[in-house]
Amino acid sequence: MNDLRLVIIARMKLTDPSGHKIIQLENDEVLEITLEDFSEGSRDFQLTVELLSENAECHIKGRAQCFGSDKKNWQVKQVFRGHNQTGSIDLRGTAEDQSFLGFDGNGTLKEGSSEADANITEKIILFDQAKGRSLPVLRVETDKVKSAGHGASIAPVDNEKILYFQARGVSRKEAEKLIKIGFLK
């Protein structure tokens, strides 16, 4: 006789997130979180997702834009405490003018966890005089890991891409807009 597993996928969308939120996942719970911050204004945001039990799964996709002199800082954390858990953090953003965008993704595989799969990716494109910070951290406190990885990139907009659009009659401002839209998808 085969063991059947019922999986319920919950989706959560947070727009212009701020403050500190804590979410806990139990057995077989799957949560997909979308974070979107495309509005002007400075803000700090912290999200902690605790995967407490067997087969818990959480995927976080965040997109942000900074303008003017805005300062946005996101701290997104997943804590793995059970068996056979999966988590991913995918953060992307653009910063322009004199703004600052900071991403701190963190995955902690606790000593009691086993067979966890954790991945953190952070990418920021800078325009004008903007600044960015990306600090993906994986803390592994167990030897029983399925896979774990992290990566980050912060770079100014590629001028060759701007020139490509301009050679086809697209203004610099419109080219930057198209690059931002494509990058944040």
State if pTM tops 0.85. yes
Kindly state whether residue 44 falls inside one of the protein's structural domains.
yes
Q: What is the pLDDT of residue 16?
A: 87
Kindly state whether residue 1 falls inside one of the protein's structural domains.
no
Q: Which residue has the tokens 């997702």?
A: 49
**Beta carbons of 71 and 99 less than 8 angstroms apart:** yes
> Distance between CA 164 and CA 150 in Å, rounded?
31
Q: Which token pair is 183?
A: 């990058």
Kindly state whether residue 17 falls inside one of the protein's structural domains.
yes
Domain span holding position 94: 8-156
Kindly state whether residue 116 falls inside one of the protein's structural domains.
yes
Q: Which residues of the chain have pLDDT under 50?
A: 1
Kindly state whether residue 163 falls inside one of the protein's structural domains.
no
Q: What is the pLDDT of residue 2?
A: 55
Kindly state whether residue 169 falls inside one of the protein's structural domains.
no
Kindly state whether residue 85 falls inside one of the protein's structural domains.
yes
- Give the count of domains, the chain: 1
Q: What is the pLDDT of residue 62?
A: 96
Kindly state whether residue 162 falls inside one of the protein's structural domains.
no
Q: Which residue has the tokens 């991945």?
A: 119
